């Protein structure tokens, strides 16, 4: 049989190249790193809306949640990790599993909705977690808190969703300074990070959460603007997160844009490129 020549051979080679590239990208994303954009302000000021990072999937090993999710609402595409690897869900184990450490910033799948969340690990299996007057306690011992000044951002719409920040200094005009009190919190294992305060609300006082074996307790650093483990799943929160729902650890911000689009180069935050996440 004669070999294909001319236009047909060119098209075939192009198709093969695209298929190989997609396969390589799929394997890379499944086994090693997953891209993640920060869509909300729940982790300020550690992570800002518009930060772009890669999630390290090798840090904790692999479960069904390691399979990629593809969500493009504008195109009607909603393919979750369950669609690819749901057959492996339910045993709450991981292949080559590693344990998250307290203070790690982690991407996980919501146990009910399957949406990707990014929060900080606060409670490990067996811990007793409680918040009293805005102060976190672990195993009945309050964490160390130290003043860290004021976090200031401009009152403007942020990210593709055009979200407005919440301010401790009340309702402010567009373009004015929106401020929040910043405090450095040190967890029992010595990991320190900043948290923000907006005001007094119900999540500043909770009951005691006894973290079950095989589960983790997560909180956002922007404590008054975070849907996290303080609210149970049946009330619209995150609740306890199973080990198998963890996707990976966020280690470094690769790129950051303060604008509505990453193409708006004048809004790029050059000081956040390749910044380590602490």
pLDDT at 133: 96
Q: Identify whether 163 is preceded by a cis peptide bond (ω within 30 of 0).
A: no
C-alpha pair distances (Å), 167 with each of 87, 136, 210, 233, 274: 44, 21, 32, 27, 28
pLDDT at 33: 82
Token readout for 4 is: 């294909």
Nearest to 35 by CA among 255, 242, 227, 245: 255
Domain ranges of the chain: 9-261
pLDDT at 61: 94
Residue 243 and residue 239: Cα distance in Å, rounded? 13
Which CATH number applies to 9-261? 2.10.109.10
Q: Where are the beta strands (DSSP E) in 155-274?
A: 177-186, 192-197, 209-210, 215-219, 241-242, 246-256
Q: Which residues are catalytic?
A: 42, 119
pTM metric for this prediction: 0.87
Q: What are residue 130's DSSP bridge partners?
A: 137
pLDDT at 194: 98
Residue 81 and residue 73: Cα distance in Å, rounded? 16
Q: Report the chain (278 residues): mean pLDDT per 10 consecutive residues.
A: 54 54 48 86 97 94 87 74 86 93 97 94 98 98 98 94 94 96 98 97 96 98 97 94 97 92 86 94
C-alpha pair distances (Å), 215 with each of 12, 172, 174, 258: 49, 40, 42, 34
Q: What pairing do the DSSP bridges indicate for beta strands 141-142 and 135-138? A: antiparallel
pLDDT at 67: 87
If you compute the radius of gyration of the chain from its CA atoms, what whole number of angstroms results?
21
């Amino acid at each position: 049989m004669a070999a294909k020549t001319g236009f047909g051979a060119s098209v075939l080679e192009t198709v093969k190249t695209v298929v190989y590239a997609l396969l390589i990208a799929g394997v890379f994303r499944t086994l090693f790193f997953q891209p993640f954009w920060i869509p909300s302000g729940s982790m300020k000021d550690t992570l800002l809306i518009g930060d772009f990072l890669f999630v390290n999937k090798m840090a904790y090993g692999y479960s069904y949640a390691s399979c990629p999710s593809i969500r493009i609402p504008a195109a009607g595409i909603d393919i979750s990790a369950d669609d690819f690897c749901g057959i492996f869900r339910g045993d709450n184990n991981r292949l080559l599993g590693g344990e998250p450490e307290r203070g790690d910033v982690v991407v996980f799948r919501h146990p009910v909705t399957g949406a990707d969340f990014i929060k900080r690990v606060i409670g490990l299996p067996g811990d007793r977690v409680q918040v009293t007057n805005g102060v976190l306690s672990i195993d009945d011992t309050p964490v160390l808190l130290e003043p860290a000044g004021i976090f200031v951002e401009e009152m403007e719409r942020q990210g593709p969703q055009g979200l407005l920040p919440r301010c401790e200094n009340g309702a402010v005009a567009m373009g004015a300074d929106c401020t929040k009190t910043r405090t450095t919190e040190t967890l029992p294992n010595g990991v320190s990070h900043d948290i923000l305060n907006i005001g007094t609300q119900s999540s500043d006082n909770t009951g005691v959460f006894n973290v079950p074996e095989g589960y983790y307790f997560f909180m956002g650093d922007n404590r008054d603007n975070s849907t996290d483990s303080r609210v149970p799943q049946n009330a619209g929160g995150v609740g306890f997160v199973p080990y198998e729902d963890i996707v990976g650890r966020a280690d470094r911000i690769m790129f950051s844009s303060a604008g509505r689009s990453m193409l708006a180069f004048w809004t790029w935050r050059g000081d956040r490129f390749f910044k380590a996440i602490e």
